[in-house]
Amino acid sequence: MARRIAFINYKGGVGKTSLIVNTAACLAKLGRRVLLCDLDTQSNASIWLLKLDRWNKINAAGEGALYSIFDPGRAKLQDIVVPDVVQDKAGAKALPGLDLVPTTFNLVDLESEYEGDPKRPAYLIFQQQLAAIEAKYDFVLFDCPPNILRASQCGIFSANEIYVPANPDALSLIGFTLLVEKLYKFHALSASFRTGAMGPAAQVQGIIFNSIKTGTDIEVSKMRMQLRLNQYKTAKRAAPIAKIFDAQVRDAMVVRRAVTLGLPVVLVSHEASDEAQDNVVNDYRKVAAELVRQGDGL
Ligand SMILES: Nc1ncnc2c1ncn2[C@@H]1O[C@H](COP(=O)(O)OP(=O)(O)O)[C@@H](O)[C@H]1O
Ligand SMILES: [Mg+2]
């Protein structure tokens, strides 16, 4: 069965998208079959991996992205998946094994215009369609916006695990706190739609520090985060094995450059070939490896 994992924090700009895209790429490089679902209207992960031209076509068509499974509702998730999404300049497959559920700007309509059937909330439609295709994957990853509105709920409801990207600052801690509060409200609201086959409702399993500048002391931030996490564990609001990842991702120019090039860092950086070196590519590889190990404890 696929591990279904959401990356979310109530704070924007902490690195949710860059962490999930680069971790997904490392998992695919390891030979895992990965489906990345972009659940953020801003479409950052989709634009990154499809590159602007391909994404523009889907955006202009108004169909073929996530919102079309809800409205007009003819498409199924399996129809919109972009297999082996990463291409090189010649259009050849550059990273087999990484598929994408793309999103375009019309996903914003899910939050307001979409009415649907109250007996079949959007997250249930999404979960059921995902269940039809997830056997093909080892990992299904959800890139969420910094909220638990409808689009995000699709990921939260379908996921069994949550990881929280964080920066070493007070705002990330506040974002984490808000997330856990809202998460349990949503779980209570959606409980009647859960079935045993879905597995447990998603709990926070880990916190991953991102964008660490050289020379910054992050120990105090880490300690505060650890204290909060311990409180949640005691209150059974975080998984018993939840932890701050040993792996953390440094701040590096190449991460921003990778976005412009439309490739994950592991395909951009000349440093990628040396798996023993101390560099940002290997930071992502370590995050991916720790994510795999965290699954052994589930
Ligand atoms: N490790 C990093 N080093 C340098 N820049 C980063 C790093 N991680 C993220 N960024 C940059 O920070 C910005 C926000 O990151 P993003 O992944 O989009 O965050 P979020 O999805 O949480 O809003 C982006 O411009 C991204 O390129
Ligand atoms: Mg994002």
Q: What residue owns the CA closest to ligand 1's atom 3?
A: 251
Q: Which of 248, 175, 214, 238 is nearest to 23 (CA)?
A: 248
- Largest pairwise CA distance in the chain: 53
pLDDT given at position 296: 87
137 close to 2: Cβ distance less than 8 angstroms: yes
Q: Which atom of ligand 1 is nearest to the CA of 11?
A: 22
pLDDT tens string 45-93: 999 999 999 999 999 998 999 999 999 999 999 999 999 999 999 999 9
User: What percent of the chain has a predicted confidence (pLDDT) above 90?
Assistant: 94
243: its two tokens: 């932890």
Residue 1 — very low, low, confident or very high, per pLDDT cuts 50/70/90? confident
More confident residue, 272 or 246: 246
Give the span between the Cα atoms of 68 and 64, in whole angstroms.
Answer: 6
CA contacts within 13 A on the Cβ side of 39: 34
Between the CA of 196 and the centroid of ligand 2 the distance, in Å, is 31
183 close to 162: Cβ distance less than 8 angstroms: yes
Q: Which of 161, 144, 162 is nearest to 153 (CA)?
A: 144
Strands 161-166 and 3-7: parallel
289: its two tokens: 């490896």
Ligand lying nearest the CA atom of residue 41: 2
pLDDT given at position 298: 80
Ligand lying nearest the CA atom of residue 15: 1
pLDDT at 270 over 80: no
Residue 17 — very low, low, confident or very high, per pLDDT cuts 50/70/90? very high
33 close to 136: Cβ distance less than 8 angstroms: yes
172 close to 9: Cβ distance less than 8 angstroms: yes
The whole model's pTM is what?
0.98
Matching residue, tokens 């215009």: 113
Between the CA of 12 and the centroid of ligand 1 the distance, in Å, is 9
CA contacts within 13 A on the Cβ side of 222: 14
Instruction: Quote the DSSP letter at residue 212.
Output: B
pLDDT given at position 256: 96
pLDDT tens string 159-176: 999 999 999 999 999 999
Between the CA of 268 and the centroid of ligand 1 the distance, in Å, is 16
Between the CA of 169 and the centroid of ligand 1 the distance, in Å, is 15
266 close to 256: Cβ distance less than 8 angstroms: no
- Please give all residues whose beta carbon lies within 6 A of any atom in ligand 1, as ranges: 12-18, 44, 210-211, 249, 251-252, 255-256, 259
Question: Averaged over 244-253, what is the pLDDT?
Answer: 97
Which SS3 state, helix, strand or coil, does residue 180 take? helix
What is each CA distance from 22 to 26, 78, 210, in whole angstroms? 6, 23, 12
What is the average pLDDT score of the chain?
96
pLDDT given at position 267: 95
Single-letter residue type at 153: Q
3-state secondary structure 216-236: CCCHHHHHHHHHHHHHHHHCC
Lowest-confidence segment of 149-153, 222-226, 267-271, 282-286 by average pLDDT: 267-271
Residue 275 — very low, low, confident or very high, per pLDDT cuts 50/70/90? confident
Residue 228 — very low, low, confident or very high, per pLDDT cuts 50/70/90? very high
93 close to 100: Cβ distance less than 8 angstroms: no
Crossing angle of the two packed helices 44-61 and 16-29, in degrees rounded to 10: 90
pLDDT given at position 224: 96
Q: What residue owns the CA closest to ligand 1's atom 7?
A: 211
